[in-house]
Amino acid sequence: MLELNLLEQIIADQRQNFEAKDPGIEREIDFLKYQKTPQITVISGIRRSGKSTLLKQFSGRFSPYYYLTFDDERLINFSVEDFATLMLAFSKVASAKAIFLDEIQNVSGWERFVRRLHEEGYKIFITGSNAKLLSSELATHLTGRYFKIDLFPFSFREFLRFNAVNLGDKTTKTQALILKHFDDYLTHGGFPEYVKYKDKEFITRAYEDVIFKDIITRFKIRASTSFQQMASYLFTNIGKEISYNSLKNILDYKSVISVKKHVGYLAEAFLLFELYKYDYSLKKQFRSNKKIYAIDTGMRNEIAFSFSKDSGRLLENVIYIELKRRGQEVFYFKGKQECDFLVKEKNKIRFALQVTTVLTEDNTERELNGLVEATLSSGINSALVITLNQEKKIKRQGIHITIIPAWKWLTSSTV
């Protein structure tokens, strides 16, 4: 067990660093909702997406409060038995009813402690960087006691706010500035520290930390070289259909089970997302090929085997992540033709969405035919095409289709 005086020193050191931390730009979160509710607030997301900074922003709404991050080498042996000593150390500093616990998934059995604090009336904020670990523990011990925030790197709206662009300014000069920033966002992504310092090495280091610390070390992966090759291959092939069997053959894995498990680890660490094909049969959904999208286009471009400017795939990835950021349930459609995204809400398809950099004479029929087929098969009568710069409204087979520039859709407040 950890000594009380050591915990007191760690708390003091961390508190000093936390209070000196730059709160950054305010994230697009309903702060009042999470501030007022007695429920536990769980913030999950990839490393370096800004979870600790978001905690800092929340902490400004509470005084006094307790704070501890478990991403500290001095706490590497912290166990569930040490929580009682931790609360004693906290209470010697101040009497508070708000508590902020960062990277809590590093402590086995944390959920019972958090549940007890909640029952004692504490207002609790916790963060974690592993989706499966958090979700399984939340479902088992904290059902009905928490709200969850899935935190992503900066949205384009947040990216513009960071760069002091006024979205309310409709002048030609501001629109040109928005388009310039969008090119940067598409290529380099929205990780907060990269946006602030423009250091590409940061993106590589963040990726390697996730791969080695959150996955290879945590899950004791022996074939680490093969695993890293798989991750790079998937980052290279964003937006394309993959099957576990094809990955097994391409990457020379011994079994499909290992492939599925390793892809799952990448998803649990928020590096990649699997998009399922839409089908009324859940069994067919799970058996169908998946599409893969990266957490951030900037990270994708740094990690991919080779990078040729592939604006179409990058744009599709940005739109998918924004749909996830807005809490949408998303699928892809494949019938006689293909459509990039179907958005489902309350057990029914709400709209179909196609993404292409530009509609030309060569691709218009293909893009719109897939969109129309997806829309008709879903029983809806409106759809969306997101491009780089085109904007107009058209009608096909009774379906109202809105064509909109990506920057305009990304800066809107509605889906």
pLDDT at 64 over 90: yes
SS3 at position 69? strand
Burial 222-233 (b: 16+ CB within 10 A, else e): ebeebbbbbbbb
Which pLDDT value is given to residue 284?
Answer: 86
Contact status, residue 392 vs residue 410, Cβ threshold 8 Å: no
What is the mean predicted confidence (pLDDT) over 311-317?
96
Best CATH choice for the domain 4-150 from the list 3.30.365.10, 3.40.1160.10, 3.40.50.300, 3.40.50.700: 3.40.50.300
Give the 3-state secondary structure of residue 123: strand
148-184: b (≥16 Cβ within 10 Å) or e: ebebbbbbbbbbbbbeebeeeeeeeeeeebbeebbee
Question: Tens digit of pLDDT for each residue in 76-109?
Answer: 999 999 999 999 999 999 999 999 999 998 999 9
Starting at the earlier edge strand, list the strands of the sheet with 290-294.
241-242, 290-294, 272-275
Fold classification of 185-311 is Arc Repressor Mutant, subunit A (1.10.10)
Percent with pLDDT over 70 in the chain: 98
What residue type is 220 in one-letter code? K
CB 343, CB 386: distance < 8 Å: no
pLDDT at 409: 97
Distance between CA atoms of residues 234 and 305, nearest Å: 10
Q: Is the pLDDT of residue 249 over 80?
A: yes
pLDDT of residue 307: 58
Whether pLDDT at 134 is above 80: no
Averaged pLDDT score across all residues of the chain:
94
Q: What integer pLDDT is reported at residue 308 of this predicted model?
A: 62
Please report, for the chain, how many H helices and E strands are present, in that order: 18, 14
The helix (H) or strand (E) run that includes residue 201 is helix 200-209
pLDDT for the residue 232: 96
User: Stretch 174-184: mean pLDDT, rounded?
Assistant: 96
Parallel/antiparallel/unpaired status of strands 146-150 and 392-396: unpaired
Q: Where are the alpha helices (DSSP H) in 120-191?
A: 131-141, 156-162, 172-188
Nearest to 51 by CA among 135, 127, 159, 112: 127
Per domain, the residue ranges of the chain are 4-150, 185-311, 326-410
Evaluate if residue 285 carries a pLDDT over 90. Answer: no
In this predicted structure, the answer to whether residue 414 has a pLDDT above a threshold of 90 is no
Q: What integer pLDDT is reported at residue 51 of this predicted model?
A: 96
Predicted local distance difference test score (pLDDT) of residue 280: 83
Question: What band does 415 get if pLDDT is binned at 50, 70 and 90?
Answer: low
Q: For position 346, what pLDDT does the model report?
A: 87
Give the residue among 172, 170, 292 at the shortest CA–CA distance from 243.
292
> What share of the chain has pLDDT > 90, as a percent?
89
* 290-294 vs 272-275, strand pairing mode: antiparallel
Check whether 312 has a pLDDT greater than 80. Answer: yes
Q: Strand pairing partners for 330? A: 343
Flag whether pLDDT at 295 surpasses 70.
Answer: yes
